[in-house]
Copies of this chain bind each other. A is one copy, B any other.
Amino acid sequence: MNIYDISRLAGVSIATVSRVLNGSDKVSDATRQKVLDIMEQNGYTPNAFARGLGLNTMRTVGILCADSSDIYLAKVIYLLERELWKQGYASMLCCTGYRLEEKEKYLQLLLSRSVDALILAGSQFIEEKSEDNGYLCEAAKKVPVFLLNGVLAGSGAYSVVCDDALAVKELADSLIERGSRQPVFLYRSPSYSGKQKLSGFRRSLAEHGLCPDGRSFLCPAGIPETARFLESLQAEGLCFDACLSSDDELAAGAVKYALAGGKRIPDELQITGYNNSLLSVCSTPEITTADNRVEFLCTTAVSLLMQVLGGKDVPERTMYSANLIHRATTRPL
């Protein structure tokens, strides 16, 4: 069943059918109704490929993320999809993993399918070496590219980021205010946001006259892994009275470590997480964390995206602040 069939049945030309299909006002009501009826009766659905071919768009945006099962990214993806759907766009999901080669392949696939835009969720997409980011710049020349929680200056891509550096600095500040003198910082990867958080940590320590060197660690993912990692740190003789973490999962691991070792939280060990995810309230005691406003992130990104697609000029960088949430793993003031 195609537009020709409908036109024949309705006794009009395909042009008229197409007009009805696209809500043109240059069709008499009688004709419109007749065509509509025929379509209804025959359960006609326009062919999206043909339409895509003519219009060169299928109203689809590609969402890339390293791992959509990550509790934080999962939320991002959910919110993005819902927001895009509201705007009449479908979402192509791509879980690239962490290897550059795979990321490029996925991006290529999406481009070859003529998606209307690309959203890269999570800071795993910014590589260390700037030449490795070339493919992103190339992509940005073809379609709008949005980086969520990542910045790539001069790439032509738009970024929406939470001020992670500031949030971690404030978290560290507050721990120090609450009596910590030997905080450590655990982070999961040296990604853009990982490095931002690290810099916030170092800045806070420096401002308080504490030496930040040798107090930040790349930590393997996973709750038990994190607990073990802290045990090994302790075994090596490192002293720490607070553990800042780049995400709630690491913080949950720190809680496990304290509970297993009989360390009282928050008296002997203060802990902070990041993201305000389910994990932060699943732990007992509940974890002090930073809410990086994932909902705001997603609605803003999609709103900006729609503006860009509408030909409007929007800022290449948008940054917003997080919201600290004090719970039971930090001392009261």
For the complex, is A211 an interface residue (Cβ under 8 Å from B)?
A: no
- B90 touching A91, Cβ below 8 Å: no
Q: Which of A111-143 contact B (CB under 8 A)?
A: 111-114
Report the minimum CB–CB distance from A314 to chain B (whole Å): 25
Residues of chain B lying within 8 A (CB to CB) of residue A283: 282-284
Output the nearest chain B residue to A63 by Cβ-Cβ distance: B93
Residues of chain B lying within 8 A (CB to CB) of residue A68: 68, 74, 77-78, 81
Residues of chain B lying within 8 A (CB to CB) of residue A106: 85
Residues of chain B lying within 8 A (CB to CB) of residue A71: 71, 74, 278
CA distance A223 to B114 in the complex (A): 42
Query: A53-B53, A281-B223 are contacts. A69–B63 as well, Cβ < 8 Å?
Result: no
Interface flags for A235-267 (1: CB within 8 Å of B; 0: not) read: 000000000000001001001100100000000
- Kindly list the 7 A-B residue pairs having the minimum CB-CB distance in the complex, ordered from nearest: A74-B74, A49-B52, A69-B78, A93-B93, A49-B53, A69-B75, A48-B113
A-B contact pairs, 28 of them (CB 8 A): A45-B108, A45-B111, A46-B112, A48-B114, A49-B49, A49-B50, A49-B52, A49-B53, A49-B56, A49-B58, A50-B53, A52-B52, A60-B92, A68-B81, A69-B74, A70-B74, A81-B94, A82-B95, A85-B95, A85-B106, A90-B113, A92-B93, A224-B281, A252-B282, A259-B284, A279-B279, A282-B283, A283-B283
